[in-house]
Structure 1
Amino acid sequence: MTNYIFGKVKRKQKFFRIIETEEDVYDTANLVLNGINYNPATLIDDEEIYQITSFSDTEYCLDFLKEELNTVDFDQITKADLKKLSFICTIQDNLYFFQIINSSFFISKKWFSIDELTLETEKPIVTINPFADAIYNKVNDTLYFKKLTAAQKIFKGMDQLYKEATEAETQTFLESEFLDVSAVYSVNSVTIPNRKRIALVNETLNNLSDNEKFAIYDYTNEYGQVTYENGKFKIENDDDLKFVLWGIEQRFYTTHIGGEKRVANSIINI
């Protein structure tokens, strides 16, 4: 079966055809694509991957993935453009393997081939990683990836899946009626991890009734990490804010055996 490698060149909108080969670039026989639905509150292990289903319906899906592949519609890439690649896409069967290309993938040194003992120079090569930055399965319309920071370089807009609260949103949150923020702790003191948590809990709070919000505050107070008086959490530093945000996300729990109070570092909905 013929496999293809296409490339996206910086500052150019279209894809270019690079290589057509009968040789497999990736080992699909041992490839297991069983992802966990992406949630910024879910941390995955090294052997796990995230997934986004119905990917073609998202606003950041490339037209390249939505259209039927016809190689004659693509121009052959020039040598000059090969040095301007932003990412490549290898197509094997119905799987699209994406790899970001940066300067570390270009090798331009003197070398000699083991098969042909001749010294070569001025013949730069592009290396291909054994693991792709993102994989799209056209059959089940699902994108798989391990790091959102990498995937968003290919699929622009995916960073909105894990956005930070803006300065205005952060200031508004600090002015919430259930918070008593110390004068020494301002919007400029809020770290990036807490800004990301604020973006998440804003959506959570918007979907809660007043009674549910009060229940969340009582639940957070049960774990006694932050002073809670007159219906307000006293925020004096970034850790205080972090514990309150964890509470709103309902990350605290008590073990059935031993009664230990713990905080969940990662959440998977079941």
Structure 2
Amino acid sequence: MANYIYGKVKRKQNMFRVIETETNVYDIGQLNLNGIDYNPATLIENEEFYQVTSFSTSGFILEFLQNDIDSVNHDQISQADLKKLSFICTVQTNLYFFQIINSSFYISKKWFSIEELTIQTEKPIITINPCADTIYDKQSDILYFKRLPAAQKIFKGMDQLYRVATEDETQAFLNNDFLDVNNGFLTNNVSVPNRKRIALVNETLSRFTNDEKQAIYDYTNQYGHVTYQNGKFKIETDDDLKFVLWGIEQRFYTTPIGAEKRVANSIINI
């Protein structure tokens, strides 16, 4: 069965046909597509993937993926446009492997083949990574990826899966009555990671009853890194804020043996 590589050229809307080959670009037999539903609080191992299910209805899918692909409907890419690729897509059966292309993938040095011992000078090449940036399984309608910033470069809008709190949202959070924020600590002192956490915990807090909120404050105070007086956490630094946000996310735990207090760096719901 023929495999195809298509390419997206910068500032052009259509996908172009690049190569038709009988060679498998990716070893599907060694591929373990067992994804974890994307959650910014979850860190994956090197061999794991995040996943977005029902991707065709997510609003991020490319038109290229929505219809059956027929290579004759795609123009052959020109030599000039090969130097303007933003990403390529390798199609093998129902799997679509996407790789971002940047200057590091272009090699134009002098080289020689082990099989043909002649110097090559005018044959620049584009390298293909052994692991794609994103993989779309059309049959199951699942998108797999390892890094959201990379997936966002191909599927525009996916950054909304991990949103940063706006200036107004950040200020509104600092105005909460369970925080005593130092006058010198302003919204521009809040780091990007904490802004991302604020975007998440705002939704979490909105679901809690008053009793549940108090239970969260007491739980956070048990781990004692931030001063808690008169029902308020004293916020003087970005680290103070991070600790309180971790508490709202219920990341703290005590080991059953040794009673060590720890913070979970990654969370997977089970």
Instruction: Give the TM-score of the pair, scaled to structure 1.
Output: 0.97
Q: How many residues in Structure 1 have an aligned counterpart in Structure 2?
A: 270
User: Where does residue 6 of structure 2 map in the other structure?
Assistant: 6
User: Where does residue 64 of structure 2 map in the other structure?
Assistant: 64
Please say which of residues 112-121 and 201-210 is displaced more in the overlay: 112-121
Deviation at 1:225, TM superposition (A): 1.6
Secondary structure of the 2:30 match is coil
Percentage identity across paired residues of the two chains: 72
- 5+ residue gaps, structure 2, are none
Judged with a 3 Å threshold, the aligned counterparts in structure 2 of structure 1 residues 117 and 261 are, in CA distance, closer, same or farther, namely: closer
User: Where does residue 124 of structure 1 map in the other structure?
Assistant: 124
Please say which of residues 30-39 and 251-260 is displaced more in the overlay: 251-260
Mapped to 2, the partners of 1:212 and 1:260 lie a distance apart of 25
Please say which of residues 94-103 and 121-130 is displaced more in the overlay: 121-130
User: Where does residue 135 of structure 1 map in the other structure?
Assistant: 135
Structure-to-structure mapping, 1:61-100, within 5 angstroms: 61-100=61-100
Mapped to 2, the partners of 1:237 and 1:210 lie a distance apart of 26
Structure-to-structure mapping, 1:1-270, within 5 angstroms: 1-270=1-270
Mapped to 1, the partners of 2:109 and 2:41 lie a distance apart of 43
Deviation at 1:76, TM superposition (A): 0.6
Secondary structure of the 2:91 match is strand
- 5+ residue gaps, structure 1, are none
Mapped to 2, the partners of 1:209 and 1:82 lie a distance apart of 57
Secondary structure of the 1:239 match is helix
Deviation at 1:210, TM superposition (A): 2.1
Mapped to 1, the partners of 2:111 and 2:236 lie a distance apart of 60
CA offset digits 1:111-152 (Å, max 9, x no partner): 223333333222211111111001111111111111111111
Secondary structure of the 1:11 match is coil
Mapped to 2, the partners of 1:209 and 1:72 lie a distance apart of 59
Deviation at 1:211, TM superposition (A): 2.2
Mapped to 2, the partners of 1:207 and 1:226 lie a distance apart of 24
Deviation at 1:207, TM superposition (A): 1.8
Deviation at 1:209, TM superposition (A): 2.0
Mapped to 2, the partners of 1:262 and 1:113 lie a distance apart of 54
Secondary structure of the 1:226 match is coil
Deviation at 1:110, TM superposition (A): 2.0
What residue identity is the alignment partner of 1:227? T
Instruction: Give the TM-score of the pair, scaled to structure 2.
Output: 0.97
Secondary structure of the 2:204 match is helix
